[in-house]
Structure 1
Amino acid sequence: MNIEQIYREAGAYLQGHFLLSSGKHSQFYLQSAKVLENPTLAAKLADELSAVIAEFGVNYDSVCSPALGGILAGYELARAGEKRFIFTERVGGVMSLRRGFDVKNGERFIVCEDIITTGKSALECASVIESMGGVVVGFAALANRSFCKLANIDGELKSECKIPANKPVFALGNFEFEIYEPDDCPLCANGSEAIKPGSRGN
């Protein structure tokens, strides 16, 4: 499965000057919503991701995603694996579990994102689960931006990755873009303003 081709054909491989959820800047952005707006394609991707996780023998009871970006990918992964699905969301800037969702003691979770960059949001989601007695057995995403090392695709673990090295990370492909700290961003130096994806119609 050529995940880069899928993103390009869906018009989801954007070029500009973007402020990522990690706080870093990039010339490129993967707009997963454009991929996931097609239910048939979303199901196909989730089925493939579920099969990859199963191939590695990771047993889990449920899937949890951080809102908003991870919800569709996580829900589809749960459907593919016939698991329960819940999601966390930020309340006053703090990742929280709401809406009557609960976590059983010892319940095993895959934390699923649409895209893993540094894994910051995924790790916050995992921390909520673990604080309630759950066990996070792995992380998954449609695509990985090459900071975190995947269990199923060769690559290097980079220092920016927030996900613990002892937890497997699964994705359907790697994307390697230049990502900059705001104070060291050549796009900013050229007078361009970073746009938060989704804030101006992108």
Structure 2
Amino acid sequence: MTREEVLQEFREAGALLEGHFILSSGLRSPVFLQKAKVFAEPERTERLCKALAEKLKAELTEEPTVIVSPAVGGLIPGYETARHMGLKALYVEREGGEFTLRRGFELSSDDKVLVVEDIVSTGLSSRECIEAINATGATVIAEGCLVDRSAGEADVGVPLISLTQYKVPAYEPDNLPPELEAIPAIKPGSRGLK
């Protein structure tokens, strides 16, 4: 699947938004990928995750034994990618502000984990997820994501394989271009919402 085909899936789902957005990192951007609108459509989600699974199979140097995703954003793409790879899909969720395995999920030191995320921007959630997995004694071999908004700049600590890269400008709140300053900011994501 090409970059344009991936972005077209987002456009058709009404998920490629333009305006002034507050990202989960606190940075501001003129573009937001509202992946929840994509994931509301099972056939669209399947096309994207099947393409990601095929790319992961082609590029991974080790065979994963399990996929782990961070909740909430990574749940659907993690599950759907795992389905196409014939793997179990687990997830970590926040408890006391930290990612942890719950709900009876377990990993062993023999597990080779593939982390699957929806969208990577700064890599913060990815690094926190990987840290929680490493604490179990399992080994994270790589991370896959649908869209890498950093275009390869985010360091998640393991190889990052994205279905596509889509570099979108992001600005510090006190260093906005005039066109963003003129538009009220909205926070469409979920991190930090009360």
TM-score (normalised: structure 2):
0.88
The structure 2 residue matched to 1:5, chosen from 8, 24, 29, is 8
Is 1:70 the equivalent of 2:77?
no
1:26-175 correspondence runs (5 A): 26-56=29-59, 57-147=61-151, 149=152, 158=153, 161-164=154-157, 167-175=158-166
Structure 2 gap ranges (5+): none
Report the secondary structure of 2:117's partner residue.
Answer: strand
Name which of 15, 23, 27 aligns with 2:26: 23
Structure 2 CA distance for aligned equivalents of residues 97 and 114 of structure 1? 19
Shift of 1:146: 2.6
Are 1:177 and 2:168 matched, yes or no? yes
After TM superposition, the structure 1 stretch with the greater mean CA deviation from structure 2, 187-196 or 45-54, is: 187-196
Q: Residues 185 and 37 from structure 1, CA distance in 2 versus in 1: closer, same or farther, beyond 3 angstroms?
A: same
Match of 1:154?
none
Query: Residue 115 of structure 1 contacts residue 141 of structure 1 at CA under 8 Å; is this kept in 2?
Result: yes
Count, aligned residues: 186
Q: Contact conserved, 2:20 with 2:183, CA < 8 A, in 1?
A: no
Residues 14, 198 of structure 1: alpha-carbon distance in 2 compared, 3 angstrom cutoff: farther
Distance in 1 separating the partners of 2:14 and 2:62 = 33
1:71-109 per-residue CA deviation (whole Å, 9 max, x = no partner) reads 100000111111111111122322222111111113111
Distance 1:93 1:169 in 2: 24
1:190 aligns with 2:149: no
RMSD: 1.8
Q: TM-score, normalised by structure 1?
A: 0.85
Code of the residue aligned with 1:92 in structure 2: it is G
Give aligned-pair identity as a percent.
35
Offset, 1:191: 6.4
